[in-house]
Amino acid sequence: MEDFIRVENVCFQYDENDKNSSYALDNISLSIKKGEFVAVVGHNGSGKSTLSKHFNAIYVPTFGDVIIGGMNTKDDDRIFDIRKKVGLVLQNPDNQIVAGIVEEDVAFGCENSGFPQKKIRERVDCALKAVGMYEYRTHSPDKLSGGQKQRVAIAGIIAMEPECIVLDEPTAMLDPQGRDEVIGTVMRLNKEMGITIILITHYMEEAVLADRVIVMDSGKILTDGIPRKVFSEVGLLKKHRLDVPQATELIYRLKNCGYELPECVLNEEECVQAIAALIKG
């Protein structure tokens, strides 16, 4: 499959005039294929949020290029085409809902793109059903829970029918139930509608669900690969002050104590099976 997003030797400085300021992104290159579900992890200040804002031309690289479906984000004339292809969902659901009624907020993006009225209606209904918020379409956003608000924000992006959705820590401000709702929705969009997902997160339990995990540290890519490979390097992740899922860590420590266990487990179920096998064995 062709590369949908290509990031080529990107460096980014928040203050270009200050020669001494450090780079938030330091020579990053990566490519993402259509339909992939990529998780980007890293601790605070690792540059993962900065990277997420490069995918739809909110930030433009100081050096290097970001190419989205053949369009360079530096090209001012294509900015709106790029933003129609790549949607960005932010951390705080309250700050990204514009209108006082759910369905009108979802329609906001389509209205800006100048679609005819009937098409907007169709897309809004379709997007609200996709995130399971159709019954709430006439409600006011203030009455919704955090998880529901975040799903409305996602619907607002889906209504524009993007090929890729970038989510910048969408679950950081939610309770566990809201987190499950949002991640479940995101996974469904990826599997059923084939939308490329780039999920920025610091919850390793979420990163495990992705097809591919990119670990960032101080503006550089530390490792990049399938979750099973990335989380097998517990030592490396620990060295860079990163967590691993609890199940992974438990097995890792038991192995260090000399028990015979599989190379890497990612969730509780695998962990239980591994330990059960060990006890029986």
Interface with other proteins by CB under 8 A: which residues? 53, 56, 58, 80, 83-84, 87-88, 90, 92, 94-101, 103-104, 107-117, 120-121, 124, 140-142, 153, 156-157, 160
Dihedral sign for Cα 157, 161, 166, 172, please.
positive
What is d(CA 255, CA 228) in angstroms, rounded to the nearest whole number? 16
Q: Which is nearer to other proteins, 126 or 275 (CB)?
A: 126
Residue 151 CB, shortest distance to other proteins, in Å, is 15
Q: Which is nearer to other proteins, 67 or 110 (CB)?
A: 110
Residue 49 CB, shortest distance to other proteins, in Å, is 11
Q: Which is nearer to other proteins, 23 or 108 (CB)?
A: 108
- Beta-strand relationship, 196-200 and 37-41: parallel
Q: Which is nearer to other proteins, 37 or 59 (CB)?
A: 59
Residue 57 CB, shortest distance to other proteins, in Å, is 9
What is d(CA 246, CA 203) in angstroms, rounded to the nearest whole number? 11
What is d(CA 91, CA 169) in angstroms, rounded to the nearest whole number? 5
Q: Confirm if 162 and 84 have CB atoms less than 8 A apart.
A: yes
Give 95: exposed, middle or buried? Use CB within 10 Å, 0-12, 13-18, 19+: exposed
Extract the tokens encoding 14: 């928040």
Residue 89 CB, shortest distance to other proteins, in Å, is 8
| Residue 132 DSSP symbol | T
Q: Which is nearer to other proteins, 82 or 207 (CB)?
A: 82
What is d(CA 66, CA 201) in angstroms, rounded to the nearest whole number? 21
Q: Which is nearer to other proteins, 88 or 244 (CB)?
A: 88
Q: Which is nearer to other proteins, 113 or 218 (CB)?
A: 113
Residue 121 CB, shortest distance to other proteins, in Å, is 6
What is d(CA 229, CA 196) in angstroms, rounded to the nearest whole number? 21
Where does the chain show beta strands of DSSP type E? 3-12, 25-33, 37-41, 63-68, 71-72, 86-89, 164-168, 196-200, 212-217, 220-225
Residue 58 CB, shortest distance to other proteins, in Å, is 6
Amino acid at 147: G
Residue 256 CB, shortest distance to other proteins, in Å, is 42
